[in-house]
Amino acid sequence: MTGPKKADLPKQDGNRAPAPTLAVPSGRGSRLMRLGWMATGIAGGMMAEGARQLALGNRPKVSDLLLTPANVRRVADQLAKLRGAAMKVGQLVSMESGDLLPPALAEILGRLRSDARAMPKAQVTGVLLANWGKGWEKQFKHFSFTPLAAASIGQVHRAQTRDGRDLAVKIQYPGVRESIDSDVDNVAGLLRMSGLLPKEMDVKPLLREAKHQLHDEADYIREGNYLHRYGELLADAPHYSLPKRHADLTTLSVLAMDYVAGVPIEALVDAAQEERDRVMTLLFALLLREIFEFRLVQTDPNFANYQYDTNTQQLILLDFGATRPYKAKMSNDFRRLIKGAMTADRAAMSVACKAIGYFDDTTQDRHQQAVLDIGLQALEPFCREGGYDFGTSDLPERVRSSGMALGLDREFWQLPPADALLLQRKFGGLYLLAIRLKARVDVNALAKAVLFSHKHSL
DSSP character string of 304-369: GGEEEETTTTEEEE---TTEEE--HHHHHHHHHHHHHHHTT-HHHHHHHHHHHTS--TTS-HHHHH
Domain interval for residue 42? 28-115+184-198
How many whole angstroms separate alpha carbon 255 and alpha carbon 161?
14
User: Which pLDDT score is estimated for 398?
Assistant: 86
User: What pLDDT is stored for residue 413 in this prediction?
Assistant: 57
| Most distant CA atoms of the chain, gap in Å | 74
pLDDT band (50, 70, 90) for residue 199: low
Q: Considering its fold, how many domains does the chain have in total?
A: 2
Whether residues 192 and 332 share a domain: the answer is: no
Question: Do the domain assignments include residue 120?
Answer: no
* Residue 14 counted as domain residue: no
- pLDDT surpasses 50 at 198: yes
**Residue 81 corresponds to which amino acid?**
K
The whole-number average pLDDT for the span 392-399 is 88
Active-site residue, selected from the candidate residues 300, 319, 333, 419? 300
Q: Name which residue leads in pLDDT, 134 or 175.
A: 134
Question: Could you say which of 198, 228, 254 is where a domain stops?
Answer: 198
For residue 235, being part of any structural domain is answered with no
Asked if 192 and 306 sit in the same domain, the reply is: no
pLDDT of residue 43: 43
Residue 50 has pLDDT above 70, yes or no: no
Residue 211 lies in a domain: no
Shared-domain flag, residues 304 and 406: yes
Boundary of a domain, candidates 198, 222, 249: 198
Task: Please state, for a pLDDT cut of 70, what percent of the chain lies above it.
Answer: 67
Confirm whether 236 is a catalytic residue.
Answer: no
Does residue 377 lie within any of the structural domains?
yes
Question: Does residue 363 form part of some domain?
Answer: yes
Alpha helices in 56-203 (DSSP H): 62-66, 69-82, 84-97, 103-111, 121-132, 180-194
Name the domain boundary from 171, 198, 225. Answer: 198
Asked if residue 179 belongs to a domain, the reply is no
Q: Which of 25-29, 223-227, 331-335 has the lowest mean pLDDT?
A: 25-29
Identify whether residues 191 and 314 lie together within a single domain.
Answer: no
Which pLDDT value is given to residue 349?
Answer: 95
* Section 80-90 average pLDDT: 56
191 and 296 belong to one structural domain: no
Q: What is the mean pLDDT of the chain?
A: 79
In a domain, 403, yes or no: yes
pLDDT of residue 245: 97
The answer to which of 119-123, 182-186, 219-223, 329-333 has the lowest mean pLDDT is 182-186
d(CA 101, CA 107): 9
Task: State the pTM of this model.
Answer: 0.78
